[in-house]
Amino acid sequence: MLMKEARDQLIAYGKKLVETNLTKGTGGNLSIFDREAGHMAITPSGIDFFEIQPEDIVIMTLDGDIVEGERTPSSEWVMHKIFYENREDIDAMIHAHTMYATVMATLHWDLPPSHYMVAVAGKNVRVADYATYGTPELAENAYEAMKDRRAVLLANHGIIAGAQDLLNAFNIVEEVEYCSEVHIKAKSVGEPVILDDAEMTHMLERFETYGQRKAKD
């Protein structure tokens, strides 16, 4: 079985999306790219995240050829593909229909840095122009709007985020959802104060060294 570890991770994080209320039922999709082999492991279309088995994960090339698996890949596989082809910093992607980020996307509002944690995705999170799900147009719109960013809101749809692995992609989705909730609730009682460009540049620099570092020998 190809990409066994990747299959297990996709199943685990798919369940985690539902358990943390970041998506519902079959809404959303996840993938991991093996850059050396040129293979993408992606969740299947239309199967509940708690029902997916390792053999249901589809292994495919970026040209769309199925290498291993009997299921139909996610309808959004082209959107995952465009990032793997053009962003060497991204080897894992998560698309979800989170509540507050989707509200922002439905309003066609970019997420500004009203909270410093927006910096996990960049200086802000843009909204990509609307296009029908599963189309090359949606993939292109998402890619363009996510330049220099790690996440993008999909107009009238949801969110997609990318990182070097699923852990970091999940963390980005989670933080963008939190910041979207904060922003919407703040706007319900007043006008949020937006952090300036200099502060967000500083935040991006800080985030490069954030977290635990290995002890020196």
What is the distance between the alpha carbons of residues 90 and 98, in angstroms, rounded to a whole number?
Answer: 21
Tokens of 8: 């297990």
- One DSSP character per residue, 88-146 reads TT-SEEEEE--HHHHHHHHHT--B-SSSGGGGGT-S-BPEEPP--TTSHHHHHHHHHHT
What distances in angstroms separate CA 69 from CA 12, 46, 50, 54, one per listed residue? 19, 15, 18, 10
The strand pairing partners of 125, in sequence order, are 111
Catalytic residues: 76
What is the distance between the alpha carbons of residues 90 and 33, in angstroms, rounded to a whole number?
Answer: 8
- One DSSP character per residue, 157-205 reads TEEEEEESSHHHHHHHHHHHHHHHHHHHHHHTTS-PPPPPHHHHHHHHH
Q: Are 121 and 177 in contact (CB under 8 A)?
A: no
Tokens of 5: 């570890």
Task: Check residue 10 and report its DSSP letter.
Answer: H
Give the end-to-end CA distance of the chain in Å, rounded to a whole number. 38
